Amino acid sequence: MFIDSHAHYNASAFDTDREAVLLSLPENGIDAVINIGDNLAASRECLRMAEAFPFVYAAIGVHPESAGEVTSEALRHLEELAAHEKAVAIGEIGLDYYYDDVPRDVQRTAFRQQLILAKRLDMPVVVHDRDAHGDCLQILKEEGITNGVMHCFSGSVEFMREVVRLGLHIALGGVVTYKNARHIIDVAREVPLDRLLLETDCPYLSPVPNRGKRNSSLNLPYTAEKIAEIRGIDIGTLAVLTTENTRRLFNL
């Protein structure tokens, strides 16, 4: 039994069969899903899905690529949405210096404001960090964030240790199964097992053997199998540990 700690079932890739995919999860060993908002509209949509499916939970937040959306009015809306009983985190929020479509200072301000909101509401954060490790870590430290997860972790072992030292968790997904994933495999080997979460980031980043196809939580066992192999533990033990970590972090 697994929990997918990061999914985007509101994505248009699921428009034709969203309900069928979600309904198939429990019978296929997926116990729960955290559906992650990446803008205000998507966050509302995530809550609607969480209301419809008992095993679906929602994270409320604005992704760095929509950071321009984070006005004071938007922050008030986010706060209202976060009060919902199935809203379990603020996210995904963070910095993305890879695409760089949104000015970095706009991203940093939106990130900071949403961290402050999470702290005030005493909710964990789901952090997106792409090519922005230094700034991400600095802002998390400055805002005193000690509760959350760095999703689709892409840093070094040394950076992972710094993130863990803050108190945060590390989520690994399909990338760990890719041939060119050398340093993520090192992270998978070294991450403390009480800080590890599993995720798909579906519909993106399908693990091998389904790389390139639409991802769903049904692929989570491929990622788990690879990490269990790297750690030299059985997949059942990994499932129990990561499920416990996810339930504890998000208070499920």
Applying CB under 5 A, the residues found at the interface with Ni ion are 201
Q: How near is the Cβ of 236 to Ni ion at its closest, in Å?
A: 27
The most distant pair of C-alpha atoms in the chain lies apart, rounded to whole Å, by: 49
CA distances 121 to 17, 94, 114, Å, are 35, 18, 10
| Six token digits for residue 151 | 């999703």
User: Which residue is it, tokens 């059985």?
Assistant: 234
Burial classification of residue 144, based on how many CB atoms lie within 10 Å of its CB (0-12 exposed, 13-18 middle, 19 or more buried): exposed
Cα of 146 vs its chain's centroid, Å: 16
First to last CA, the chain: 15
Q: Which is nearer to Ni ion, 42 or 224 (CB)?
A: 42
Q: Which is nearer to Ni ion, 96 or 201 (CB)?
A: 201
Beta bridge partners of 32: 3
Q: How near is the Cβ of 247 to Ni ion at its closest, in Å?
A: 20
Q: How near is the Cβ of 204 to Ni ion at its closest, in Å?
A: 7
**Interatomic CA distance for residues 102 and 110, integer angstroms:** 11
Q: How near is the Cβ of 62 to Ni ion at its closest, in Å?
A: 12
Q: What are phi and psi of 152, to 5 degrees?
A: 45, 55
Beta bridge partners of 126: 91, 149
Q: How near is the Cβ of 27 to Ni ion at its closest, in Å?
A: 25
Helix (H, G, I), strand (E, B) or coil at 172: strand
**Interatomic CA distance for residues 236 and 56, integer angstroms:** 22
Q: How near is the Cβ of 36 to Ni ion at its closest, in Å?
A: 5
Q: How near is the Cβ of 63 to Ni ion at its closest, in Å?
A: 7
Q: Which is nearer to Ni ion, 4 or 201 (CB)?
A: 201
